[in-house]
């Protein structure tokens, strides 16, 4: 700051309203001797004093509690422990409270910012005095009330040391305050400890001296740092308003001062003169003697001006050799005479030759045009333009003029200049002339821009993610873009289009809006400096700056707009409607992937899950055209691996599955974890990716959603991390809401695609599984079950291909399967087989308004009576009850029969039984299959459901019958039908006639003789629960008794239990329980080898 750099700080405050006499030209508070107007403001101590006082004030409320509470604690602990009366302790405590109350009063009075700034030194002095009072109060404690006990003495010393440490920290912004607070206590405590007869206290005295010395040193250093920071802050503020070369105010300072000057003139009824000054022959000095000589000349002229200007006058450098002068308090009646006297002083700066380097006298002149407020204009910008025009008019008359300055251009007021179109022909001409200048500016800007990026943590991480080739390419593209920005051929639409593309990239890469704004400011600032340094007419410079700044503003606005649109599109993920409860996972997950793949910056979205071998496989994906990364991942050598020691186990997807946390790769080019896929990334343009694991309700991971991005660091920004966490929660919610068919497996995307293609290319084949009447042993109807026959003859069960289908595809499978089933029924009729047919109806198909029409039309086409067809409703999805009742009503009108499938496993099976009329119910096969694992529970559940169905007047079908024991259980409970491998496995329709010809029912029909332990347990359960806990018949006539005797139990304890349950004695209940447990053990021991049942 030159010879005045020893001052402290600067308070830049442009308005001069209500300023005390002697204040600086630009409102910089000065506390030193007066200086010439217009001189670079010195750094004022008033502002540091105000800041220090403010910090001290802020510490008072906290300090109140930090003093009164410890003082009260000391008084309480030491009561009765000191030589002096206890009353002195409480007097001392009350004094502490009064001192702190005084400080609170000072705090209350000085809280208003204006009050504090009005006289900061006075308030700082008062605050220091209150701090000194507080320090003296603590100093009284060891001198007057020091206890006799060494332990109490150490307590007092510790409290004082702690209070001093906290107090010094609070007063650290002001070294005198900190010392005022600490020194009295430090001296009194140290002396009292050193004079103590106790060696421990004496040693503590030395420690206290070192401690307080350390506090004093720390206080000094903190205070120095505070003042240094204040100085740096003031310098930064000052530099933003002053020209670095001449130390004169710059254009920004001129704008602020001129606005204030016009406002004051309007209030006071005075005039303001604005002069536009151009140094004559300055270009010749630069050309002949060099730019250093030109700089020296400008500095000397500025120095001379500063010595001549007064408080109501200001000279600012606009750039190059052009300056503006503002003169206030002009008397309207004596304006010309008053201005002439002032301009004579201004001209003294060039009246004598100027020595430049190398030492050589240079004589120059100046030209100035003047505009007056309010004579010429009332607008600050218009006044400056009027003065500029006046100056150039006078400049053209350099050889004939009589004065170096003139008032105005003409007697008529100047009209506002028409704005120039930044993309028009005139702008193109201006930009063409300045093309060489832009090349220099662009190169300088790029270097400065990347140096600044190094200081921004987010931007620095982005740059570190690029390899050398990518970084060089980024610089080349940026230079090309800057050329495009100022190209004469660039149109507004083209600029906005390109800026929007770049804005989206910046937003996705984590480049903040503040960074874009700072770069824009830096570019315009650099442009202004270079343009103002060029020898161009003022109007030409003005138009050039206006055109470029307009384009930069349009470009920046387009970038912000694009970033906001990208942000909104990403947030739409969370506002999209979730699938309805029970919707298909196939449909819901694919819809999510399709939406995510459509987002800006997303190349591909891959959903990875575990297959039956425990390997990660791509279940489904969505990609932009030409970016099918999932297709490349079908290569098993590229699939992620769960093994953390494998090279394919270090990627984000594998790590996310193992750790259940969101993982990302910020730089595909540099991160070693993607080494196996680096070539893949280069081929598709992958720059980063994020892997989002989502868990089921049990907390275990069920899938990982991996999103591949086009930009490095795309998923690293704070808002993007929040977004990925939101996607994780949404996927978990969708998984919880949707359903997958029981037993469905995860398939690779390639195999799933093959299955889908085959399914709709004639591969669907309906297999028939017979259903037998338990009363007659005859097969009365069959259930049509979907199978997929591959070209090689392989038959694929429904658990592998049904989960791949959406609602529309399920509709088609149902219609094709129904046609096949009815066609088989008609063929059997031709062979004399009277068999009915049942087929599963998907819930989504049931709700289709055309479902009843499809069924009716198919029955009519195949000439099958509606009563021979039963549709089985499987509620694996939740759907609206009103819509469901209406759909069932439409089917009832067709005349078909309805069966409720899988009773015991649906969303609301019991509720449906009570609200809808079914012709039959089917008990889920998974219940009966548990009979050998949990015999008692299974028998109880099966028996309850069968009896429930019978009570409701519906036929009951037990599915999953695999052996004679299960078949007998169903018969004992009174079920009407049985279905399962014990009767027949599903078979092609063409095999049914031959199979019927050789079919024999596995057990005796209508027999009262039990044949299996499972049947015996069912018999016992049935009689116990229907006959008040005992068998109504005699033991000799009981089927269970005969079964036990046939098994060699006659005369045994088991036979005794059985006899007891035929009585009504007290032992009957205990005997029944023992017999049930024994039969259950026999059932478990009789487990047969089970076949693989896949219906």
What are 790-831's pLDDT values in tens digits?
Answer: 998 889 888 888 877 777 778 888 999 999 999 999 999 999
DSSP SS3 for 41: coil
- Report the chain's mean pLDDT, rounded to a whole number: 80
Angle between helices 435-453 and 425-433 (to 10 degrees): 80
Q: What is the structure's pLDDT at 768?
A: 96
Q: What is the structure's pLDDT at 911?
A: 65
Please tell me the pTM assigned to this model. Answer: 0.49
Q: State the DSSP H helix or E strand holding residue 24, giving kind and residue range, or none if neither.
A: none
Statement: residue 786 has pLDDT above 90: yes
Higher model confidence: residue 882 or residue 564? Answer: 564
Angle between helices 492-509 and 468-485 (to 10 degrees): 150
For the ranges 81-90, 261-270, 792-801, the lowest mean pLDDT is seen at 81-90
The percentage of the chain sitting over the pLDDT mark of 70, rounded to a whole number, equals 78
Radius of gyration of the chain (CA): 48
What are 138-148's pLDDT values in tens digits?
Answer: 777 776 655 55
- Which long-range contacts does 666-673 make (Cβ < 8 Å, 24+ apart)? 666/461, 666/465, 666/712, 666/713, 666/714, 666/715, 666/716, 667/464, 667/465, 667/466, 667/712, 667/713, 668/712, 669/465, 669/466, 669/467, 669/470, 669/712, 670/464, 670/465, 670/466, 670/467
Statement: residue 788 has pLDDT above 50: yes
Q: pLDDT class for 582, splitting at 50, 70, 90?
A: low
Count, residues in the chain: 1095
Q: What is the structure's pLDDT at 190?
A: 72
Closest to 63 measured CA to CA, from 195, 172, 159, 166: 166
For the ranges 4-8, 169-173, 387-391, 849-853, the lowest mean pLDDT is seen at 4-8
Q: What is the structure's pLDDT at 33?
A: 36
DSSP SS3 for 40: coil
What sign results for the dihedral spanned by CA atoms 533, 537, 543, 544?
negative
Q: What is the structure's pLDDT at 971?
A: 92
What are 690-713's pLDDT values in tens digits?
Answer: 999 998 887 888 899 999 999 888
What sign results for the dihedral spanned by CA atoms 928, 932, 933, 936?
positive
Q: pLDDT class for 354, splitting at 50, 70, 90?
A: confident
How is residue 284 written in tokens? Answer: 């010749």
Statement: residue 277 has pLDDT above 90: yes
Q: What is the structure's pLDDT at 173?
A: 62
Statement: residue 2 has pLDDT above 50: no
Q: What is the structure's pLDDT at 10?
A: 32
Query: What is the layout of strands, in order, in the sheet containing 405-407?
Result: 313-319, 322-330, 271-280, 365-373, 405-407
User: What mean pLDDT is predicted for residues 371-392?
Assistant: 89
- Return d(Cα 436, Cα 666) in angstroms, integer: 39
- Return d(Cα 221, Cα 445) in angstroms, integer: 39
What are 200-209's pLDDT values in tens digits?
Answer: 766 776 776 7
Statement: residue 918 has pLDDT above 70: yes
Statement: residue 1094 has pLDDT above 50: no
Statement: residue 15 has pLDDT above 50: no
Q: Residues with Cβ < 8 Å from 316, sequence gap 6 or more?
A: 243, 248, 249, 250, 251, 253, 254, 257, 323, 324, 325, 326
User: What mean pLDDT is predicted for residues 597-609?
Assistant: 92
Q: pLDDT class for 152, splitting at 50, 70, 90?
A: low
Q: What is the structure's pLDDT at 233?
A: 64
Q: What is the structure's pLDDT at 652?
A: 92
DSSP SS3 for 764: strand
- Strands 663-665 and 779-789 come out as unpaired
Q: What is the structure's pLDDT at 134?
A: 77
Which of 120-124, 682-686, 994-998 holds the top average pLDDT?
994-998
Statement: residue 122 has pLDDT above 60: yes
Statement: residue 1051 has pLDDT above 70: yes
Statement: residue 119 has pLDDT above 80: no
DSSP SS3 for 798: helix
Q: Residues with Cβ < 8 Å from 473, sequence gap 6 or more?
A: none
Q: What is the structure's pLDDT at 863?
A: 93
How is residue 751 written in tokens? Answer: 């195999």
- Return d(Cα 1023, Cα 1033) in angstroms, integer: 10
Q: Residues with Cβ < 8 Å from 1065, sequence gap 6 or more?
A: none
Q: What is the structure's pLDDT at 23?
A: 32
Phi, psi of 998 (to 5 degrees): -110, 10
- Please say whether the beta carbons of 487 and 515 come within 8 A: no
- Return d(Cα 872, Cα 912) in angstroms, integer: 13
The percentage of the chain sitting over the pLDDT mark of 90, rounded to a whole number, equals 28
**Three state DSSP letters for 100-134:** HHHHHHHHHHHCCHHHHHHCHHHHHHHHHHHHHHH
Closest to 1059 measured CA to CA, from 1033, 1086, 1093: 1033
Query: What's the angle, vertex CA 477, arms to CA 472 and CA 479, rounded to 5?
Result: 95
User: What mean pLDDT is predicted for residues 595-619?
Assistant: 87
User: What mean pLDDT is predicted for residues 608-635?
Assistant: 77
Q: In b/e form, how buried is each residue of 871-885, taking b as 16+ CB within 10 angstroms? A: bbbbbbbbbeeeebe
Q: What is the structure's pLDDT at 39?
A: 43
What are 457-509's pLDDT values in tens digits?
Answer: 666 666 776 777 777 878 888 888 889 999 999 999 999 999 999 889 888 88
């Amino acid at each position: 700051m030159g010879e005045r750099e020893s001052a402290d700080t600067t308070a830049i405050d442009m308005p001069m309203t209500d300023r005390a006499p002697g204040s600086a030209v630009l409102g910089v508070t000065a506390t030193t001797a007066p200086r010439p107007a217009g001189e670079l403001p010195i750094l004022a101590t008033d502002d540091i004093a105000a800041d220090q006082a403010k910090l001290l004030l802020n510490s008072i409320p906290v300090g109140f509690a930090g003093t009164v509470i410890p003082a009260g604690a000391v008084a309480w602990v030491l009561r009765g422990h000191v030589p002096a009366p206890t009353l002195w302790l409480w007097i001392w405590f009350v004094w502490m409270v009064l001192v702190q109350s005084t400080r609170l009063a000072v705090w209350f009075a000085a809280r208003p910012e204006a009050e504090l700034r009005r006289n900061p030194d006075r308030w700082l002095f008062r605050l220091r005095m209150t701090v000194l009072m507080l320090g003296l109060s603590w100093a009284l404690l060891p001198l007057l009330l020091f206890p006799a006990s060494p332990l109490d003495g150490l307590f007092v010393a510790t409290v004082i040391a702690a209070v001093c440490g906290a107090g010094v920290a609070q007063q650290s912004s002001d070294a005198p305050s900190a010392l005022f607070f600490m020194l009295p206590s430090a001296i009194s405590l140290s002396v009292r400890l050193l004079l103590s007869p106790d060696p421990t206290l004496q040693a503590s005295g030395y420690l206290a001296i070192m401690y307080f010395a350390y506090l004093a040193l720390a206080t000094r250093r903190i205070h120095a740092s505070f003042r240094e920071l204040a100085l740096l802050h003031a310098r930064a503020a000052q530099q933003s308003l002053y020209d670095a070369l001449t130390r004169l105010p710059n254009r920004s300072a001129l704008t602020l001062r001129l606005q204030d000057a016009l406002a004051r003139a309007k209030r006071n009824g005075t005039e303001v003169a604005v002069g536009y000054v151009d140094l004559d022959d300055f270009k010749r000095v630069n050309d002949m003697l060099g730019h250093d000589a030109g700089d020296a000349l400008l500095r000397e002229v500025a120095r001379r001006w500063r010595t001549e200007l007064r408080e109501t006058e200001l000279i600012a450098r606009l750039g190059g050799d052009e300056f503006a002068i503002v003169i206030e308090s002009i008397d309207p009646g004596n304006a010309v005479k008053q201005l002439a006297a002032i301009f004579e002083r201004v001209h003294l700066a060039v009246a004598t030759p100027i020595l430049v380097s190398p030492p050589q006298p240079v004589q120059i002149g100046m030209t100035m045009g003047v505009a007056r407020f309010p004579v010429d204009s009332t607008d600050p910008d218009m006044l400056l333009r009027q003065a500029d025009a006046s100056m150039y008019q006078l400049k053209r008359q350099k050889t004939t003029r009589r004065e170096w300055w003139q008032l105005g251009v003409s007697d008529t007021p100047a009209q506002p200049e028409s704005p120039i179109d930044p993309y028009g022909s005139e702008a193109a001409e201006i930009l063409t002339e300045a093309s060489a200048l832009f090349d220099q500016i662009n190169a300088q800007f790029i270097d400065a821009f990347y140096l600044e990026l190094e200081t921004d943590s987010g931007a620095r991480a982005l740059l570190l993610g690029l390899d050398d080739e990518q970084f060089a390419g980024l610089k080349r593209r940026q230079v090309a873009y800057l050329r495009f920005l100022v190209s004469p051929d660039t149109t507004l639409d083209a600029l906005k289009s390109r800026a929007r593309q770049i804005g989206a990239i910046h937003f996705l890469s984590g480049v903040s809006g503040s960074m874009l704004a700072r770069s824009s400011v830096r570019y315009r600032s650099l442009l202004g400096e270079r343009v103002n340094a060029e020898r161009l007419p003022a109007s030409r410079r003005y138009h050039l700056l206006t055109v470029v700044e307009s384009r930069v503003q349009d470009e920046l606005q387009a970038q912000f707009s694009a970033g906001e649109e990208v942000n909104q599109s990403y947030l739409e993920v969370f506002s999209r409607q979730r699938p309805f409860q029970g919707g298909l996972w196939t449909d819901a997950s694919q819809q999510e992937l399709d939406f995510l793949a459509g987002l800006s910056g997303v190349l591909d979205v891959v959903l990875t899950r575990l297959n039956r071998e425990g390997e990660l496989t791509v279940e489904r994906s969505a990609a932009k055209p030409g970016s099918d990364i999932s297709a490349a991942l079908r290569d098993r050598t590229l699939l992620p691996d769960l093994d953390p020691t494998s090279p394919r186990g270090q990627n984000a997807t594998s790590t996310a599955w193992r750790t259940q946390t969101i993982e990302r790769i910020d730089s595909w080019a540099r991160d070693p974890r993607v080494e196996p896929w680096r070539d893949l990334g280069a081929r598709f343009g992958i720059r980063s990716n994020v892997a989002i694991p989502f868990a089921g309700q049990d907390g275990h991971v069920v899938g990982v959603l991996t999103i591949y991005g086009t930009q490095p660091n795309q998923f690293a920004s704070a808002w993007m991390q929040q977004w990925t966490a939101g996607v994780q929660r949404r996927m978990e919610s969708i998984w919880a809401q949707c359903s997958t068919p029981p037993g469905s497996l995860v398939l690779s995307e390639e195999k799933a695609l093959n299955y889908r293609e085959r399914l709709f290319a004639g591969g669907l084949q309906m297999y028939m599984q017979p259903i037998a009447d338990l009363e007659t042993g005859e097969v009365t109807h069959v259930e049509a079950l979907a199978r997929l026959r591959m070209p090689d003859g392989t038959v694929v069960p429904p658990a592998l291909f049904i989960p791949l289908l959406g609602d529309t595809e399920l509709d088609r499978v149902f219609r094709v399967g129904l046609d096949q089933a009815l066609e088989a029924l008609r063929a059997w009729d031709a062979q004399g087989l009277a068999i009915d047919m049942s087929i599963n109806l998907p819930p989504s198909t049931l709700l289709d308004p055309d479902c009843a029409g499809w069924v009716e039309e198919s029955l009519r086409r195949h000439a099958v009576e509606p009563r021979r067809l039963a549709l089985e409703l499987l509620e694996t999805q939740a759907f609206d009850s009103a819509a469901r009742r209406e759909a069932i009503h439409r089917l009832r009108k067709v005349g078909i029969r309805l069966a409720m499938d899988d009773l015991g496993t649906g969303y609301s099976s019991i509720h449906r039984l009570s609200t809808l009329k079914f012709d039959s119910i089917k008990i889920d096969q998974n219940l009966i299959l548990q009979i050998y694992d949990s015999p008692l529970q299974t028998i109880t559940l099966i028996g309850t459901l069968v009896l429930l169905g019978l009570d409701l007047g519906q036929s009951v079908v037990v599915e999953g019958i695999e052996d004679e024991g299960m078949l007998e259980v169903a018969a004992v409970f009174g079920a009407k039908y049985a279905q399962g491998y014990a009767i027949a496995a599903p078979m092609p329709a063409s095999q049914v006639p031959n199979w019927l010809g050789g079919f024999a029912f596995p057990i005796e029909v209508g027999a009262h003789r039990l044949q299996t332990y499972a049947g015996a347990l069912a018999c016992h359960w049935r009689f116990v629960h229907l006959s008040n806990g005992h068998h109504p018949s005699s033991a000799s006539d009981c089927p269970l008794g005969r079964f036990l005797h046939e098994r060699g139990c006659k005369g045994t304890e088991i036979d005794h239990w059985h006899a007891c349950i035929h009585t009504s004695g007290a032992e009957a209940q205990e005997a029944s329980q023992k017999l049930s447990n024994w039969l259950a053990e026999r059932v478990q021991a009789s487990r047969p080898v089970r076949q693989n049942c896949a219906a």
